[in-house]
Structures are given as C-alpha cells and as structure tokens.
Structure 1
Amino acid sequence: MKVYIREVQKAPWYFIVPVILVTGLIWYGLIQQIVFDIPFGANPASDTEMWVLLVVFGILFPTFFLSIKLTTEIREDGIYVRFSPFVSRFLPYKDIKQAEACTYNPLSYGGWGIRWNPKKGWVYNMKGNKGVLIELKNGKQLLIGSKKPEELVRHMKIIKTR
C-alpha cells in the first residue's frame, strides 16, 4: 500500500531530559558501588538491588520512554495512526465525514499522549498544539497531533476524491 505522507513525532526534549537524568544517576550509583566498592547513598542498596535497579531504570526505563512516538500515515485506503508502543488505529476514508487542520489547547483534552475526552473523543498527540480534527460519519471525533496538519489534510482530500 502506497504511503503518500508519513509523519513521525518523538518525545520533546523536556520529556527526555528527566529520563536521561534518572538513567545517569542509576549508572553512576552502580559504577560507584560495584566497580569502586563505595556504597552509594546514605542507606545504600545491596549489590543485587543495584543490578536490578540498573536493569529496570538504567536499561528498560529509558528504552521504553525513548521508543514512544506518534506515527501518522496517509495511504490510499485511509489514515494509519500508531502511538508506539501502545496502540495502532486505522481510519478508512469511507468512515470519515470531514477532516480539518486546527489549533487546539492540549490541556483541554487532558494533556499530551493518548487521551479520551467524553465530549471531544480520542486524541493522539506528542507535543505542540496543532493537529488534524477528524469527524467520523458515526458522529465521533478524533484529533491527531501534527507538526504539519495542513499537509496531512491536503493529501487526505486528494486521495479521498479519487
């Protein structure tokens, strides 16, 4: 299936900085305690606990958070939205009543990420305040955050009219 436009958004820097700080602290503590044999902190964990902390917060935690991304694809048969590693969604053009580029307040939807608002429907966004508001034929709405919403809507309209 041909992809006409693909947009990938990753977490903003202010989301990544705390992850890096926590990861760095865990690695520093492990090296200090295991390699240099200097207990880390006022009430140090055992060496086994330090290894567990390293695996969980020094490897798995950053790998998980750094893998989070929002991918939107406009294809011949519809719109594909994937909020990795959590959810994928496909919207066939036959189910879409209209789509428009918009500016919105993310906090009115509950913030960034995957959100559901009883009045406004599902939202998939990573950062910023621009997106594509999609109204489905069943009356429900979906908002997809985007850095280039006008371009996504333009491609959707071109493909849908074919």
Structure 2
Amino acid sequence: MAVKFKEQQQFTQWWLWVLLIGIGLRIGYGVYQQLVLETNFGNNPMSNNGLVIFAVLYALLLFFFYRLKLTVTISNTYLTIHFFPLIKRVISISEIQEAKAKKYSFVGGWGIRYWTKYGTVYNVKGNKGVALKLKNGDRYLIGSQRAKELEHQLLQLGVPIAG
C-alpha cells in the first residue's frame, strides 16, 4: 500500500490551550487551597475527595485533547480518515463519486459533526477541506490545511472533481 497523501492535524490553536490550561490552573489552585492550606475553595466547596476526582478528570480531559489527532491518508485504493482515538473510517477510492476542495462555513465547532449540510464533518481547525460524495449518497467533509493537494491526489486516482 503506497501512501499518496498523508496529513496529520491536532488542536494547536493557542487560544484553546490558554483557555484549557487556565481552567486547569484554577482547578489546581483550588486543590492546593483546600487540601494544603486547608481553607475552603469558594463559598460552597466540594468535599476533598470530590475536588480531587474533579481535578483528575479534568487532567484526563486535557490529556485527551492533547492526544486527539486527525490523520487523512490516501493510498492507491483507499482513503482513510482516522480521528484518533475516536474513529477510523476507511473509504474505497472506487466508492467516491466526486470530490471538491472548498472553503466551508461554521459547522458548530471542531471534531466530528454529524448531520450538517455537508454530511459528516471531520475537522480540527480552519475552514478549508475536501467535500466527498460517495456512490451510496453519503457525504463527508474532511477539514484540511492542504485541501487542494488532497483534491489533486484524488483526481490522480480517477475521482471526478465536482463542478
């Protein structure tokens, strides 16, 4: 299986990480205040166990965001969309009816979005991607920082480009 195209994207938006880490620091300060300084964190504090569990769950959420990765790979026969660790979708090139690089409008956030006007959307950042229409009628939009190159690789494999 020769790889014709491969793109990996992660959540690298600076403002997202400032927000997530800022919240984490606030939670960490609350743990420190309540467990080390032994003063209540807020007017209606959680129990110590509840606060520690909340802090651990938030740390796991941060780790999850850090590990999320959208990888799009094209070989001679398959297009693979892997949104690690959530989903891996393999589409046969022969099942793609048409493709088109496009700039798209807001789809309700990033990640995996179902039932949008574009079909199922896989995106991490930006507003460019490749829209796919399959022969069975399913539609997908793959967010890409290299949308034209992705479209070109599909064209090279015989996938018609939508008008």
Same fold (TM over 0.5): yes
Q: How far apart in 1 are the matches of 2:113 and 2:50? A: 35
Structure 2 residue 51 is matched with structure 1 residue 46: no
Aligned to 2:62: 62
Structure 2 residue 147 is matched with structure 1 residue 149: yes
Q: How far apart in 2 are the matches of 1:139 and 1:67? A: 32
**How many positions carry a matched residue from both structures?**
158
Q: How far apart in 1 are the matches of 2:32 and 2:51? A: 10
Unaligned runs of 5+ in 1: none
Letter of the 1:154 counterpart: H
Q: How far apart in 1 are the matches of 2:38 and 2:116? A: 55
Structure 2 residue 13 is matched with structure 1 residue 9: no
Q: How far apart in 2 are the matches of 1:117 and 1:56? A: 29
Letter of the 2:9 counterpart: Q
Q: How far apart in 2 are the matches of 1:33 and 1:118? A: 44
Cα shift readout 1:30-72 (whole Å, capped 9, x = no counterpart): 1222223333222222222222122112x21211222222211
1:73-112 alignment runs, 5 A limit: 73-107=73-107, 110-112=108-110
Q: How far apart in 1 are the matches of 2:92 and 2:149? A: 18
Q: How far apart in 2 are the matches of 1:120 and 1:43? A: 45
1:160: how far off? 4.4
- When normalised by structure 1's length, the TM-score is 0.84
Q: How far apart in 2 are the matches of 1:29 and 1:118? A: 39
Q: Answer yes or no: is the 8 Å Cα contact 1:104–1:131 preserved in 2.
A: yes
Residues 28 and 99 of structure 1: CA distance in aligned 2, closer, same or farther (over 3 Å):
same
Unaligned runs of 5+ in 2: none
- When normalised by structure 2's length, the TM-score is 0.84
Cα shift readout 1:1-53 (whole Å, capped 9, x = no counterpart): 33222211212233333221221111111122222333322222222222212
Q: How far apart in 1 are the matches of 2:44 and 2:116? A: 46
Which range moves more in the overlay, 27-36 or 113-122?
113-122
Aligned to 1:34: 35
Aligned to 1:131: 129
Of all paired residues, the percent bearing the same amino acid is 38
Q: Answer yes or no: is the 8 Å Cα contact 2:118–2:131 preserved in 1.
A: no
Q: How far apart in 1 are the matches of 2:70 and 2:120? A: 14
Structure 2 residue 114 is matched with structure 1 residue 116: yes
Q: Answer yes or no: is the 8 Å Cα contact 1:106–1:112 preserved in 2.
A: no
Aligned to 1:21: 22
